[in-house]
Each structure stands twice: as C-alpha cells, then as structure tokens.
Amino acid sequence: MKSERKIFADYLVKKNLRETPQRGMILDAFLKIEEHTTAEQLYDIVKKRDNTIGQATVYRVLKLICDAGLAREVDFGDGVMRYEHCYNHPHHDHLVCRSCGKTVEVVDLVIEELQKRVAESFGFELTDHEMYLYGICGNCRHKK
Amino acid sequence: MKSERKIFADYLVKKNLRETPQRGMILDAFLKIEEHTTAEQLYDIVKKRDNTIGQATVYRVLKLICDAGLAREVDFGDGVMRYEHCYNHPHHDHLVCRSCGKTVEVVDLVIEELQKRVAESFGFELTDHEMYLYGICGNCRHKK
DNA sequence: TTGCTTCTGATAATCATTATCATTTATGCG
DNA sequence: CGCATAAATGATAATGATTATCAGAAGCAA
Ligand SMILES: [Mn+2]
Ligand SMILES: [Mn+2]
Ligand SMILES: [Zn+2]
Ligand SMILES: [Zn+2]
C-alpha cells in the first residue's frame, strides 16, 4: 500500500504530471478494493468521499494507474472493462462460472510455457496473452 | 456450402422461422468469406447485391447463423465483434500480431487438456474458453 | 502578483449494437 | 382467391460504456 503510492508518485514525476487530491483519492479507493472493479463502481465509491468528483476523472486516473503498472484491464466480455491490482499480484488467468459469475484466479506454468512455444512455432515472439476459462462451478452444479 | 445451407434451413424450420431472400443472401455472403468478418463488412458486401437491405437485418441474421452453429464470435478486444465459420472449422484459438494485426489460427491439444484439468481442480466443469496469444510476427520483427 | 501549464468537471460526441415500430411479406384457412 | 394473423424487414431512435472537448479552477515558476 505504501509502496504502491510511492510507485504512483514516481510515475507522475517521471511523466511530469501533478499529484492532485483527486488522483490520490481515486488511487487509494482502488487499492482498497480486492475484487475486479469497473470504473463505474470506483466512481460510486469515490463519490461518497467527494461528491464533486467527475467520472471522467475516474476514467482518466484509472488509465494512469494502469500505465504506472499498478492495475491491469480484465475483459470478461460483457461490455464493461474491469480493473484488478497488478502490483504484487503476479500474472494469472481467470476461471469464470457461466451461471453465477464467480471468478477464480488460476495460473498453470505448463500452459504458459506451451503458449510461448506455440507462438514461436509460428515465428511469433509472444508478448502477452489472454485466457478465460468458462464453466459451471461446483455450487451451481449441485443446485441443478 | 450445400450442407451449411441445409443446416441453416433445418434450423429455421426447427425454430419456426421463415426462409427469406435476405436471410439466404446474408448467409451466402457470409459463407463465401474465409476471413474473420465484422457485421459492417458483411453489410457492405450484401448491400452491393441488394442496396435496400438494412444493417439491422445483417445483425439479426448473423445472430441466427451463430445460433444455428455455423458461426462463432471472435473478440480481438478492439471493440468490434468478428465472426468466423464454425462448420467444418474445428475449435481453434488465435495468435495475433500486435504490430500488423496478422492472425494465425492455432490449436494445441495439450493446452486444451490442461485447461480442462485446471478448471476441474477448482470444481468447475469447463464449457468453453477463450485464448488469445499476442506477439510480434516474424515479418514485423525483421523490419525493426 | 502574473503569466503559463496542467487538471478537472460538465457535457457532448462516439460508435457498435439493440430496441422500436410502422410497413411489407408470407402463411393458413374459409 | 380474399382475408386474418403472424413474422420479417428497414429506417430510425435508443443504449451504454468510453472518449473528446472546452471553459474554468488550481498549481507552479519567476
Ligand atoms: Mn484477477
Ligand atoms: Mn479463427
Ligand atoms: Zn457458479
Ligand atoms: Zn506483424
């Protein structure tokens, strides 16, 4: 938490951007949330502290947070972008229940290695990837 | 080609929907395209044959074609949905060049198997998945 | 202060997709 | 064949998340 603020401050300095109350408040609110969050949800939270804040600013700061390496976009394909923590949250993929929407963060090093190899076999140098596994969770299966 | 039309016709009958000139024309145009195509691109093609056709109809028929199992949505994350053939085109994932946009269709049975296992290890029954590998293709690498 | 630049919030614009609705077209029946 | 009913179409408006615009506020440098 301390170091995230430091990273963000350093990023602003490096980019010749200013540290403002809004930027600080939005960053703090984002860091407190452990779930995957939309700009709208973050806006609602920040508004409670300062109801003069504009949602355009939330979108703008969220972009800065991503650029600073503290957040990552997650796209579950429902038309709304979500954001998750990046710092001290190493790369992972997502397992999503088609029935209740529950998500689990997963990582499989063998898959990651094979992805690299597949890319290379076609002459590509892999830079990143997206993998979403969809299914029915145990809970939902037992209900039916 | 013949069998795709048959599948679509059967699907319409099963769902009590009518076979119309527009539906036939849009399906034919879609089947002729081998690339990943947007609704807009398909609309432009169909319009050349019948400039009275509406793009809402293209969207509607594209949805029918998907439901009939002849097309699949592909989301490269650029805000536009693309469609690809499904019939006689077994499941595959996509390798996309971040520089030139070139796409390669790939499939790795080991990865597919591991995906199933990862899901099961969390109590999920895997129904489907999305995997996009992003990188720099050989061409683009040599240019730089 | 005084300029100058950056930030912000309100608002309008964008853009792919969906919804609405009046009109057209197909179908089933007497 | 008319007529009633239902489905399909095309034009158009609406949607909704995100982005652009722009006038005013706030910070900074001299
Ligand atoms: Mn996550
Ligand atoms: Mn494909
Ligand atoms: Zn579930
Ligand atoms: Zn390339």
Q: Measure CA to C1' and name the residue nearest C17.
A: B59
**Beta-carbon contacts of residue A93 (< 8 Å; ≥ 6 apart):** A105, A106, A107, A108, A130, A131, A132, A133
Sort strands B37-38 and B81-85 into parallel, antiparallel or unpaired.
antiparallel
Are A118 and B124 in contact (CB < 8 Å)?
no
Whether residue B2 has pLDDT greater than 80: no
pLDDT value of position A79: 93
Written as tens digits, the pLDDT of chain A (144 aa) is 568 999 999 999 999 999 999 999 999 999 999 999 999 999 999 999 999 999 999 999 999 999 999 999 999 989 999 999 999 899 999 999 988 889 999 999 999 999 999 999 999 999 999 999 999 999 999 987
Residues of chain A with CATH 3.30.1490.190: 93-143
- What's the Å distance between residue A79 CA and nucleotide C10 C1'? 25
| 3-state DSSP assignment of residue B131 | strand
Pick the CATH number of A4-85 from 3.40.50.300, 3.90.440.10, 1.10.3470.10, 1.10.10.10: 1.10.10.10
Q: What SS3 string covers chain A?
A: CHHHHHHHHHHHHHCCCCCCHHHHHHHHHHHHCCCCEEHHHHHHHHHHHCCCCCHHHHHHHHHHHHHCCCEEEECCCCCCCEEEECCCCCCCEEEEECCCCCEEEECCHHHHHHHHHHHHHCCCEEEEEEEEEEEECHHHHHHC
Residues of chain B with CATH 1.10.10.10: 4-85
- Mean pLDDT computed over B14-19: 93
B50-100: per-residue pLDDT in tens? 999 999 999 999 999 999 999 999 999 999 999 999 998 999 999 999 888
Q: How many other β-carbons are positioned within 10 Å of the β-carbon of residue B61? A: 24
Question: Is residue B96 within a helix (H) or strand (E), and if so which, with residue range?
Answer: strand B93-97
- A93-143: CATH topology is Dna Ligase; domain 1 (3.30.1490)
Q: How many other β-carbons are positioned within 10 Å of the β-carbon of residue A130? A: 18
- Closest CB to A135: pick one of B106, B125, B138: B125
Whether residue B144 has pLDDT greater than 80: no
pLDDT value of position B101: 86
pLDDT value of position A122: 97
Among B78, B131, B136, which would you mutate to test the A interface (most chain A Cβ atoms within 10 Å of its Cβ)?
Answer: B131
A6-43: per-residue pLDDT in tens? 999 999 999 999 999 999 999 999 999 999 999 999 99
pLDDT value of position A47: 96
Name the maximum alpha-carbon separation found in chain A: 56
pLDDT value of position A2: 64
Q: Of the candidates B34, B102, B38, B118, which has an alpha carbon nearest to the alpha carbon of residue A108?
A: B118
B95-127: per-residue pLDDT in tens? 999 888 899 999 999 999 999 999 999 999 999
- Mean pLDDT computed over B140-144: 86
Cα separation, A100 vs A135, whole angstroms: 10
**b or e along B82-91 (b: 16 or more beta carbons within 10 Å of the residue's beta carbon)?**
bbbbbbeeee
Instruction: Return the structure tokens found at A78.
Output: 């429902």
pLDDT value of position A99: 86
